[in-house]
Amino acid sequence: MTVRPILVAGEPILATPATPVTEFDEDLARLVEDLFDTNTAANGAGLAANQIGDSRTVFVFDCPDGTGRHHRGHVINPVLETSELPGTQPDPRRDLEGCLSLPGERFPTGRAAWARVTGVDRHGDAVSVEGVGFFARCLQHEADHLAGRLYLSRLVDPHAAEAMRMLERNGWTEPGISWLPGDGPDPFAAGPW
Protein backbone atom coordinates (compact mmCIF):
# COMPACT_ATOMS: atom_id res chain seq x y z
CA MET A 1 0.00 0.00 0.00
CA THR A 2 1.43 3.36 -1.06
CA VAL A 3 -0.23 6.49 0.25
CA ARG A 4 1.17 9.52 -1.53
CA PRO A 5 1.13 13.19 -0.45
CA ILE A 6 -1.75 15.20 -1.92
CA LEU A 7 -0.81 18.53 -3.47
CA VAL A 8 -2.64 21.62 -2.29
CA ALA A 9 -3.91 24.54 -4.40
CA GLY A 10 -1.07 26.71 -5.65
CA GLU A 11 0.81 23.85 -7.31
CA PRO A 12 1.21 24.51 -11.07
CA ILE A 13 0.40 20.89 -12.00
CA LEU A 14 -3.12 21.40 -10.60
CA ALA A 15 -3.67 24.20 -13.12
CA THR A 16 -2.19 22.33 -16.10
CA PRO A 17 -4.17 19.98 -18.36
CA ALA A 18 -3.04 16.38 -17.88
CA THR A 19 -1.20 14.35 -20.52
CA PRO A 20 -3.10 11.53 -22.25
CA VAL A 21 -1.90 8.03 -21.39
CA THR A 22 -0.28 6.11 -24.25
CA GLU A 23 1.58 3.37 -22.35
CA PHE A 24 -0.39 0.71 -20.48
CA ASP A 25 2.30 -0.89 -18.38
CA GLU A 26 3.12 -1.85 -14.79
CA ASP A 27 3.97 1.76 -13.94
CA LEU A 28 0.42 2.77 -14.90
CA ALA A 29 -1.01 -0.12 -12.84
CA ARG A 30 1.02 1.10 -9.82
CA LEU A 31 -0.28 4.64 -10.33
CA VAL A 32 -3.88 3.42 -10.28
CA GLU A 33 -3.22 1.42 -7.07
CA ASP A 34 -1.48 4.41 -5.45
CA LEU A 35 -4.46 6.59 -6.34
CA PHE A 36 -6.87 4.12 -4.74
CA ASP A 37 -4.68 3.75 -1.62
CA THR A 38 -4.28 7.50 -1.23
CA ASN A 39 -7.97 8.22 -1.86
CA THR A 40 -9.00 5.61 0.71
CA ALA A 41 -6.56 6.92 3.33
CA ALA A 42 -7.87 10.46 2.72
CA ASN A 43 -11.55 9.43 2.98
CA GLY A 44 -11.97 10.77 -0.54
CA ALA A 45 -14.72 10.29 -3.11
CA GLY A 46 -12.24 10.56 -5.98
CA LEU A 47 -8.66 11.49 -6.78
CA ALA A 48 -6.93 12.58 -9.98
CA ALA A 49 -3.32 11.75 -10.80
CA ASN A 50 -2.21 15.38 -10.92
CA GLN A 51 -3.29 15.74 -7.27
CA ILE A 52 -0.41 13.42 -6.34
CA GLY A 53 2.02 15.04 -8.77
CA ASP A 54 1.60 12.75 -11.79
CA SER A 55 0.66 14.44 -15.07
CA ARG A 56 -1.10 11.43 -16.63
CA THR A 57 -4.82 11.60 -17.42
CA VAL A 58 -6.09 9.15 -14.79
CA PHE A 59 -8.61 9.35 -11.96
CA VAL A 60 -10.19 6.98 -9.46
CA PHE A 61 -13.58 7.17 -7.78
CA ASP A 62 -15.13 5.50 -4.74
CA CYS A 63 -18.48 7.09 -3.92
CA PRO A 64 -22.27 6.71 -3.76
CA ASP A 65 -24.63 8.10 -6.37
CA GLY A 66 -27.52 9.30 -4.23
CA THR A 67 -29.73 6.32 -5.11
CA GLY A 68 -28.04 3.95 -2.65
CA ARG A 69 -25.65 2.46 -5.21
CA HIS A 70 -21.88 2.66 -4.61
CA HIS A 71 -19.39 3.08 -7.45
CA ARG A 72 -15.68 2.26 -7.39
CA GLY A 73 -13.33 2.28 -10.34
CA HIS A 74 -10.88 4.22 -12.45
CA VAL A 75 -10.89 5.93 -15.83
CA ILE A 76 -7.94 6.75 -18.07
CA ASN A 77 -8.17 9.40 -20.81
CA PRO A 78 -11.75 10.32 -19.80
CA VAL A 79 -14.22 12.17 -21.97
CA LEU A 80 -17.04 13.85 -20.01
CA GLU A 81 -20.67 14.33 -21.06
CA THR A 82 -23.26 16.00 -18.81
CA SER A 83 -26.83 17.13 -18.72
CA GLU A 84 -27.39 20.88 -18.72
CA LEU A 85 -25.76 22.87 -15.94
CA PRO A 86 -28.20 24.55 -13.57
CA GLY A 87 -28.89 28.21 -14.27
CA THR A 88 -29.57 29.04 -10.64
CA GLN A 89 -27.42 29.73 -7.60
CA PRO A 90 -26.20 26.49 -5.96
CA ASP A 91 -28.00 25.50 -2.77
CA PRO A 92 -25.61 26.16 0.16
CA ARG A 93 -26.79 22.99 1.92
CA ARG A 94 -27.39 20.54 -0.92
CA ASP A 95 -24.64 21.56 -3.36
CA LEU A 96 -21.59 21.71 -1.07
CA GLU A 97 -18.43 20.43 -2.70
CA GLY A 98 -14.98 19.78 -1.29
CA CYS A 99 -11.61 18.75 -2.67
CA LEU A 100 -8.65 16.84 -1.31
CA SER A 101 -6.41 19.59 -2.73
CA LEU A 102 -8.28 22.14 -0.59
CA PRO A 103 -8.30 20.17 2.67
CA GLY A 104 -11.19 20.90 4.99
CA GLU A 105 -12.85 23.51 2.75
CA ARG A 106 -16.30 23.29 1.13
CA PHE A 107 -18.26 25.66 -1.10
CA PRO A 108 -21.65 25.49 -2.89
CA THR A 109 -20.96 24.52 -6.50
CA GLY A 110 -23.38 24.19 -9.40
CA ARG A 111 -23.05 20.87 -11.24
CA ALA A 112 -25.09 18.98 -13.81
CA ALA A 113 -27.48 16.40 -12.35
CA TRP A 114 -26.24 13.64 -14.70
CA ALA A 115 -22.78 12.82 -16.03
CA ARG A 116 -21.09 10.11 -18.07
CA VAL A 117 -17.37 9.51 -18.51
CA THR A 118 -15.98 7.26 -21.22
CA GLY A 119 -12.37 6.21 -21.52
CA VAL A 120 -10.28 3.11 -20.90
CA ASP A 121 -9.04 1.12 -17.91
CA ARG A 122 -5.42 0.33 -17.02
CA HIS A 123 -5.42 -2.53 -19.57
CA GLY A 124 -6.66 -0.28 -22.39
CA ASP A 125 -10.17 -1.77 -22.36
CA ALA A 126 -13.14 0.55 -22.94
CA VAL A 127 -14.88 1.94 -19.83
CA SER A 128 -18.08 3.92 -19.52
CA VAL A 129 -19.54 5.05 -16.18
CA GLU A 130 -22.48 7.32 -15.58
CA GLY A 131 -24.47 8.50 -12.65
CA VAL A 132 -26.68 11.07 -11.02
CA GLY A 133 -26.45 13.15 -7.89
CA PHE A 134 -23.28 12.80 -5.87
CA PHE A 135 -21.64 10.41 -8.33
CA ALA A 136 -22.33 12.79 -11.23
CA ARG A 137 -20.73 15.55 -9.17
CA CYS A 138 -17.68 13.35 -8.52
CA LEU A 139 -17.21 12.53 -12.21
CA GLN A 140 -17.39 16.21 -13.16
CA HIS A 141 -15.04 17.19 -10.35
CA GLU A 142 -12.35 14.66 -11.32
CA ALA A 143 -12.66 15.47 -15.05
CA ASP A 144 -12.12 19.13 -14.13
CA HIS A 145 -8.91 18.20 -12.29
CA LEU A 146 -7.53 16.52 -15.40
CA ALA A 147 -8.43 19.61 -17.44
CA GLY A 148 -6.32 21.68 -15.03
CA ARG A 149 -9.23 23.21 -13.08
CA LEU A 150 -10.03 23.20 -9.39
CA TYR A 151 -13.71 23.35 -8.55
CA LEU A 152 -13.19 26.90 -7.26
CA SER A 153 -13.23 28.05 -10.91
CA ARG A 154 -16.91 27.01 -11.03
CA LEU A 155 -17.94 29.15 -8.06
CA VAL A 156 -20.13 32.23 -8.41
CA ASP A 157 -20.24 35.21 -6.06
CA PRO A 158 -20.43 35.56 -3.15
CA HIS A 159 -18.78 32.11 -2.88
CA ALA A 160 -16.06 32.89 -5.47
CA ALA A 161 -14.92 35.94 -3.49
CA GLU A 162 -15.03 33.95 -0.25
CA ALA A 163 -12.90 31.21 -1.85
CA MET A 164 -10.26 33.75 -2.94
CA ARG A 165 -10.04 35.03 0.64
CA MET A 166 -9.76 31.42 1.89
CA LEU A 167 -6.80 30.73 -0.44
CA GLU A 168 -5.00 33.83 0.83
CA ARG A 169 -5.82 33.06 4.48
CA ASN A 170 -4.47 29.49 4.17
CA GLY A 171 -1.40 30.53 2.17
CA TRP A 172 -2.45 28.32 -0.76
CA THR A 173 -1.38 30.67 -3.53
CA GLU A 174 2.19 29.37 -3.89
CA PRO A 175 3.62 25.92 -4.70
CA GLY A 176 5.20 23.60 -2.16
CA ILE A 177 2.29 22.61 0.07
CA SER A 178 0.96 19.08 0.42
CA TRP A 179 -0.55 16.86 3.08
CA LEU A 180 -0.18 13.14 3.73
CA PRO A 181 -3.38 11.25 4.52
CA GLY A 182 -3.08 9.43 7.83
CA ASP A 183 -0.40 11.83 9.13
CA GLY A 184 -2.08 14.20 11.58
CA PRO A 185 -5.73 15.23 11.87
CA ASP A 186 -8.09 14.23 9.08
CA PRO A 187 -9.31 17.40 7.34
CA PHE A 188 -12.28 15.46 5.98
CA ALA A 189 -13.32 13.41 9.01
CA ALA A 190 -16.94 13.98 8.03
CA GLY A 191 -16.27 13.19 4.34
CA PRO A 192 -14.82 15.31 1.51
CA TRP A 193 -18.15 16.66 0.31
Catalytic one of 11, 97, 105, 142: 142
- Measured between alpha carbons, how far is residue 146 from residues 25, 50, 83, 107, 161 in Å? 20, 7, 20, 20, 24
162 is catalytic: no
Was 123 annotated as part of a binding site? Answer: no
CB 137 within 8 A of CB 68: no
Was 99 annotated as part of a binding site? Answer: yes
Q: What angle do CA 51, 148, 99 make, to 5 degrees?
A: 45
Was 70 annotated as part of a binding site? Answer: no
Binding residues: 99, 141, 145
* Catalytic positions: 142
